Amino acid sequence: MKEKAKMNEESSRHQYADADEASHIYLLPNSLTAGNLFFGFLAILRCIQANNAVDPAIVSEYFTQAVWFILLAVICDALDGRLARLGGRESLFGKEFDSIADIISFGVAPALMTIFLILSPTEKYPFFLQIGWLIAFVYLLCAAVRLARFNVLTHPMLPPAERMKGTKDFLGLPVPAAAGMIASLVLVLNSFDLQALAILLPPLLLAIAVLMVSNIPYPSFKNIDWQTSTRFRTFIYLIFGLGIVFMMKELAFALLFLAYIGYGPLRYFVRVYRARKRLSRATPTPGE
């Protein structure tokens, strides 16, 4: 009983004072969240226009614009939370508003983009006319579940020991990275006239959906700020990497998102392997 009372007392310290404090709208971070929502809306609009267009050149242009709108939404999403944390202006309203914007920009927009690329023209891939919408919905569902889980695990009502706010990793693939992977791949398909490879998008969508709701940790980079220092060698590598990104242009975004998505499972399985190896060494064999 004492332990339960202590937990309740500790949890109550992290509640907001009143509804006004919890729903406070801070101008700069919430403006960036509104920008995220705005670019997501424009991406959806361009996807619909591309689906209704007849000229292949116009279709490609609309999809390319939709990709850039999604990537701009990713930038807004990366900056709004960081700006709120730097200024000490975090609120429950801001977190919920951010999730609503994310489900539009990084859930609905990539799902529509994939559906329209596969089902237009429908004669090309008749199988996906029946199943394509379901694959896109699975992606959208996993994105929504991922966002809801994140809000629960970082809720101020949770005891500090159970809250993920202080960790350096995300649990599962972040939704912006998932959308960025889909959008950047579409950019590659359009830029290099590889629309025939759009058939690969549905399996990729399902794989990304699984990673979003998995327990694989992904680095958040939220501890990087103006006070973060680094070694000279790391700084040189970073500048070299930025130079490669500038040279590769359209391919760079796809490679960056692919590297991030692949890094999570690779690091996770390496840690599991090392942990099992240490456990096998520490466990004495029979007869010793």
CATH code of the domain covering residue 179: 1.20.120.1760
The pLDDT of residue 19 is above 80: no
Amino acid at 210: V
Out of 11-20, 112-121, 157-166, which region has the weakest mean confidence (pLDDT)?
11-20
- What are 143-181's pLDDT values in tens digits? 999 999 988 887 766 666 555 555 678 889 999 999 999
Q: What is the mean pLDDT of residues 65-86?
A: 87
In a domain, 115, yes or no: yes
Q: How confident is the model at residue 3 (pLDDT cuts 50, 70, 90)?
A: very low
In a domain, 110, yes or no: yes
State residue 199's pLDDT score: 78
State residue 131's pLDDT score: 79
State residue 44's pLDDT score: 96
Full domain range(s) for residue 243? 2-258
State residue 13's pLDDT score: 45
Q: What is the mean pLDDT of residues 19-24?
A: 58
State residue 10's pLDDT score: 44
Question: Cα separation of 25 and 22, whole Å?
Answer: 9
pTM of the full structure: 0.82
In a domain, 280, yes or no: no
State residue 105's pLDDT score: 96
The pLDDT of residue 188 is above 60: yes
In a domain, 277, yes or no: no
Q: How confident is the model at residue 101 (pLDDT cuts 50, 70, 90)?
A: very high
Q: How confident is the model at residue 41 (pLDDT cuts 50, 70, 90)?
A: very high
In a domain, 286, yes or no: no
Q: pLDDT over 70 for what percent of the chain?
A: 75
In a domain, 287, yes or no: no
Q: In the chain, how many domains are there?
A: 1
Cβ neighbours for 62, distance < 8 A, ≥ 6 positions apart: 46, 47, 49, 50, 53
State residue 203's pLDDT score: 86
In a domain, 168, yes or no: yes
Out of 24-38, 46-60, 67-81, which region has the weakest mean confidence (pLDDT)?
24-38
The pLDDT of residue 94 is above 60: yes
Question: Which of 175, 105, 183 has its CA nearest to residue 147?
Answer: 175
Q: How confident is the model at residue 194 (pLDDT cuts 50, 70, 90)?
A: confident
State residue 12's pLDDT score: 45
The pLDDT of residue 73 is above 90: yes
Q: How confident is the model at residue 15 (pLDDT cuts 50, 70, 90)?
A: low
In a domain, 272, yes or no: no
Question: Which of 115, 45, 114 has its CA nearest to residue 73?
Answer: 45
